[in-house]
Structure 1
Amino acid sequence: MTPWKILITDGLDAKGKAVLSEVGEVIDRNGITADELLKEIGEYDALIVRSRTKVTPAVFEAGVKLKVVGRAGIGVDNIDLNAAKAHGVRVVNSPLATTITVAELTLGLMLALVREIPRADSAMKAGKWLKKELEGAELYGKTLGIVGFGRIGSAVADRARAFGMRIIAYDRLKAAEAITQRGGEPVSWEQLLELSDVITLHLPLTNETKNMLDANAFARMKDGVYLVDAARGGIVDEDALLAALESGKVAGAALDVFTTEPPGVTALVSHPRVICTPHIGAQTQEAQARAGYDIATEIIAALKGEPLRWRVI
């Protein structure tokens, strides 16, 4: 057996672990602290994380044997890519694994918002019958603005189209032709804000996207717009969103991600027109199985020096 040592810090599906165990020693330290990671990373050839673990420059500095870092999922904003490049460490992810799961959650959150499903459920459990108060809205005929029209954004479009929604999309990294080919109507950022009845976000957190939805963006939106964010915390300026909810500009928001996670019981989390879930976008049995297998095979390819399907750097 090749004497590779592979560290898993945020858990991994059993299928992925089994694949990795065929080529090396696999250590699962789910929940390891940042200090513990710095002390131990020097022993390992590969590191597999999800969104919790922060792979900082200090981790790369201490990881003297480290050859590859794998993200079981899509987003790599918790991995310092500049430090990885400086230390000659490959970074890979598994971008296909969670597409369906996140797209389905997005539609679920959208429906929960426009029909006030959580409020109806909590009222019933409290012995209240709020039938006359719960007059929601239909998705049919509404304009859905999708920000970020990659794999997940286009998967959301496919499903929203079945509800009879008009699909408009903004993606600064994609040509209009590419958006059209994926089934969206390309628009500018300003047009998306002004035309959308529902806005959903599907893009990474970067310097360019941080606080992308700020007070100015909310001011340009329709009155009574709905917002869904199952992408990354920090893309939405949470203070600006709270102000937009209080003013009525935003009729409701569904958030699976937050600037700080867990966020605690903040004014935004406890707002009556906000639906919150604890970053469960990728949390299905099927997605975790796919992510585990995909990242395991990619890590092995990186260790062996073979061609990579999902190389980030």
Structure 2
Amino acid sequence: MSSRYRPVVVVTEPVHHSGMELLSQSCEVLLLSELSGQERTAALHRADSVIVRSTPFTEDMMDASPRLSVIGRHGAGIDNIDVEAARARGIAIVNTPRSNTDSVAEYVVTVALMLLKRIPEVSAALRSGAFPSGGGSLPGQVDRGGLNGRDASGMTLGLIGAGAIGSAVARRAMALGLVVKAFDPYIPQHDDFEIVPDLGELLECSDIVSLHVPGGGTNRHLIGAAEIARMRDGSMLINAARGDLVDDAALVAALESGHLAGAALDVFESEPPAPDAAIFSAPNLIVTPHMAAMTKESLQRMSMDVATGVLKALASALDTDAA
């Protein structure tokens, strides 16, 4: 990148210092969250690039950034960016689709095992005094209380979405002895597991269903009452992708009726959910605050990857302008 001009990169929220340091070597970097209202307006007006995490980046914000040539997304999805508006203005978008792959895959396998072994349920029972000292051995009380877990080996894991994260989940699951199948209309076949051509067929043959597709559009409430009804009695659902993929009311009803034995949600249609949200009253549900990708290693990778992508796009834009 030419030393005669230092592009201005506006970062809307703090990211790992490694990415900030990389950007600072050749760019003027402004952290929007540290600026006042007028300073924010001025920063966007000067921005050659904006890097966002979860902050929406709208058409109005693009209009307020006349020099903007690239938007960087610190994360895999770009649903918080008005993609059509960016394309209409010739603004490039770069994201980090593989930076959090291992982190999310590990999360999915972790909560699947926690559900199968009933860890939250039995831990709460133990803490509440449900196993009296005069009730015999703990294993015996677990058995008599109907709190036995399940083996993962031999079960079928159904993946909705067989991209990078879905495939990473599959590799870990198969190492535990699970049979993996997936539905993905964009991937007709996979070297490591079976691609099922119909979503309903996948739901009907799976003991655990895990979601790995974008949200929004036609995917909103991809898993609703009708889809949950097709899932096996006693099966489980995991969503660490996007909150609007699952109809919360239908999920709560299925957990309360016992049709689903358990579920894990890391994402919600409204984030954060209200403290009195119905989802929090559902039994056998693990809830976490959109943190599947929030590991030290993943955050550093995302920061470096988005910085590298933005620098490459800026260099390309500058070369084009020079030509």
Q: Does 1:173 align with 2:186?
A: yes
**How do 1:61-72 residues align onto structure 2 when only pairs under 5 Å count?**
61-72=63-74
CA gap of 1:144–1:202, structure 2 versus 1, over 3 A, is same
Q: Does 1:112 align with 2:120?
A: no
Q: Does 1:88 align with 2:101?
A: no
Q: Structure 2 counterpart of 1:42, which letter?
A: H
Q: Structure 1 counterpart of 2:294, which letter?
A: Q
Three-state SS of the structure 1 residue aligned to 2:116 is helix
Q: Hey, what's the Cα distance between the residues in 2 that align with 1:286 and 1:19?
A: 17
Q: Does 1:186 align with 2:186?
A: no
Offset from partner CA, 1:4-50 (integer Å, 9 cap, x none): 11111222111111110011111223488999866742221111111
CA gap of 1:94–1:40, structure 2 versus 1, over 3 A, is same
Three-state SS of the structure 2 residue aligned to 1:11 is coil
Q: Structure 1 counterpart of 2:262, which letter?
A: G
Q: Which has the larger radius of gyration?
A: 2
Q: Structure 2: where are the runs of 5+ without partners? A: 132-140, 318-323
> Equivalent residue for 1:151?
164
Q: How big is the shift at 1:280?
A: 0.6
Offset from partner CA, 1:111-137 (integer Å, 9 cap, x none): 111112123334444455474443121
State the TM-score, normalizing by the size of structure 2. 0.88
Q: Does 1:208 align with 2:218?
A: yes
Q: How big is the shift at 1:226?
A: 0.2
- How many pairs align? 302
> Equivalent residue for 1:278?
289
Q: Does 1:18 align with 2:21?
A: yes
Q: Hey, what's the Cα distance between the residues in 1 that align with 2:170 and 2:74?
A: 24
Q: Hey, what's the Cα distance between the residues in 2 that align with 1:58 and 1:47?
A: 14
Q: Hey, what's the Cα distance between the residues in 2 that align with 1:82 and 1:34?
A: 27
> Equivalent residue for 1:245?
255
Q: Hey, what's the Cα distance between the residues in 1 that align with 2:36 and 2:278?
A: 29
Q: Structure 2 counterpart of 1:4, which letter?
A: P
> Equivalent residue for 2:103?
101
Offset from partner CA, 1:167-220 (integer Å, 9 cap, x none): 110001111x3x2x1x11111211101100000011111312111001111111
CA gap of 1:18–1:160, structure 2 versus 1, over 3 A, is same
Equivalent pairs: percent with the same residue? 40
Q: Structure 1 counterpart of 2:257, which letter?
A: S
Three-state SS of the structure 2 residue aligned to 1:108 is helix
> Equivalent residue for 2:76?
74
CA gap of 1:6–1:237, structure 2 versus 1, over 3 A, is same
Q: Hey, what's the Cα distance between the residues in 2 that align with 1:267 and 1:5?
A: 45
State the TM-score, normalizing by the size of structure 1. 0.90
Q: Structure 1: where are the runs of 5+ without partners? A: 307-313
Q: Structure 2 counterpart of 1:151, which letter?
A: A
2:11 to 8, 13, 28: 8
Offset from partner CA, 1:258-310 (integer Å, 9 cap, x none): 0011012211123231100000121111111111111101100111117xxxx
**How do 1:48-59 residues align onto structure 2 when only pairs under 5 Å count?**
48-50=51-53, 52-59=54-61
Higher helix proportion (structure 1 or 2): 2
